[in-house]
Every structure is written in C-alpha cells, then in structure tokens.
C-alpha cells in the first residue's frame, strides 16, 4: 500500500489542494482513509482505479472486437 497525502494527490493529479478538497466535499474522489480530523490518506492503487473509471472514449474511437 502506497499512501498519499492531499498534497501528494494534488501533485499526482496536477491539481491544487483546493480542488482535491472540492472532490472530497462532492463525494467524487478516490476512496480515502481518515487517520484523524485533519489527516486524510489515499492509497495510490485506489487513486489509479478511480482515474481509470474516469476515462472517456470519444465516439468513433471505440475499437471493434476485430481490431483487438
């Protein structure tokens, strides 16, 4: 397990800490562990899975089964 702080996550995503807090407030964030009231940690594997779930394939770009 590789734990990331909010600062680490912000750097990993290229976002600000404020944006990460907005993700948390909206509930649209990777699973996290609340170690204490001000200490939140994210598992990098959960972050990567969350990012993968956000992937959008533009129309016309889907690969057919014949191309795989």
Position 62 scores a pLDDT of 63
**Domain residue ranges in the chain:** 3-53
Position 58 scores a pLDDT of 86
Domain 3-53 part of CATH 1.10.3470: no
Per-residue model confidence as pLDDT tens digits over 38-68: 899 999 999 999 999 999 988 876 665 555 5
Per-residue model confidence as pLDDT tens digits over 14-47: 999 999 999 999 999 999 999 998 899 999 999 9
Distance (Å, whole) CA 36 – CA 19: 20
């Amino acid at each position: 397990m590789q734990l990331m702080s909010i600062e680490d996550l912000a750097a990993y995503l290229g976002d600000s800490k404020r944006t990460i807090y907005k993700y948390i407030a909206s509930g649209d964030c990777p699973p996290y562990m609340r170690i204490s009231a001000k200490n939140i940690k994210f598992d990098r594997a959960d972050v990567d899975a969350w990012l993968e779930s956000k992937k959008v394939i533009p129309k016309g770009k889907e690969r057919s089964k014949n191309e795989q």
